[in-house]
Amino acid sequence: MEGLDPRPEPAKIFDTAVTGDDWVKLRTEAIFRETLKDRTFTIVWTDNQRRYMTAEITKDDIYQYRLNRIFLSAPREVLEAAAGYLVRRTRKRRDIIHGYIETHMEHLAKTRVNRRYRLNPQGTVFDLEEIKDMLVDLYFDGDLPVSMTWGSRRTTINRHRISLASYSQATNIVRVHPVLDNDLVPIHFIAYVIHHELVHAKIKAREKDGRRYFHDEEFYEELHRYPLWEKAELWEKEALPSLLLAWKP
């Protein structure tokens, strides 16, 4: 994935050969590479809750970073500030980094409150929050406060008709069917499914002549901003039926 650049060519981050943490780590490394240019750097990912970020330049001129995993879903501006902090320790970069860490702490507090809804975004294969945050950063200007969760594994499947995901305007929660938490599902497809529901969160249903319309021209224009929508719909047509047949709640 050399030369990966998520902003000018966002489709590359949905390479079907990339799954799980590798996907977001590649994005982070790409942004660091852009910011640091020809400088050699290393990134070590940690779960350290006391020091979310440390950085130093070794005597061999290697830029070494230790980042808490919260930075995996950080917006581009935050990652650029983190990478560039060793190049020039400006107040602006420091404030951006500290602001992101504080936002994360607020998010943890909100998560505790939302436990009453039994939100469970972390699956066996995919973390829905990480994918959602990436999509919001790329296609929704970094601002779309929506919660994510997998549906219950007790959910049954109608082989002829299935809702892979749904958005509730009342709770502002997107639920994704657990059948998609599978190694056989390419990340570009589940990202497409999530993107579909995020568009619903952005463009609310409209009332006309006593009827509610969920998919109008504006909706599809927004939906097709996702670069791999055609590839995702082809995979759904060709591969999803066999996945549904093999599903065991």
Q: Quick: pLDDT tens for 43-88.
A: 999 888 778 899 999 999 999 999 988 898 888 999 999 999 999 9
**Global pTM exceeds 0.85:** no
Q: What per-residue confidence (pLDDT) applies to 79?
A: 94
For domain 1-117, which CATH number applies: 3.60.21, 3.40.1350, 3.30.2010, 3.10.580? 3.30.2010
Judge whether 35 and 12 are in contact, CB under 8 Å: no
Q: List Cα–Cα distances, 83 to 80, 128, 239, in angstroms.
A: 5, 26, 40
The whole-number average pLDDT for the span 160-167 is 78
Q: What per-residue confidence (pLDDT) applies to 162?
A: 72
pLDDT in tens, 198-246: 999 988 766 665 565 667 888 889 899 999 999 999 999 999 988 888 8
Q: What per-residue confidence (pLDDT) applies to 5?
A: 39
At 112, phi and psi to the nearest 5?
A: -65, -40
d(CA 70, CA 136) in angstroms, rounded, equals 16
Q: What per-residue confidence (pLDDT) applies to 24?
A: 79
Between 193 and 213, whose confidence is greater? 193
What residues does CATH 3.30.2010.10 cover in the chain?
119-249
Q: List Cα–Cα distances, 189 to 74, 85, 185, in angstroms.
A: 22, 35, 7
Quickly state the pLDDT bin for 90 (edges 50, 70, 90).
very high
Q: List Cα–Cα distances, 212 to 87, 205, 245, in angstroms.
A: 54, 6, 33
The amino acid occupying position 51 is R
CATH class, domain 119-249, is alpha beta
Q: What per-residue confidence (pLDDT) applies to 129?
A: 92
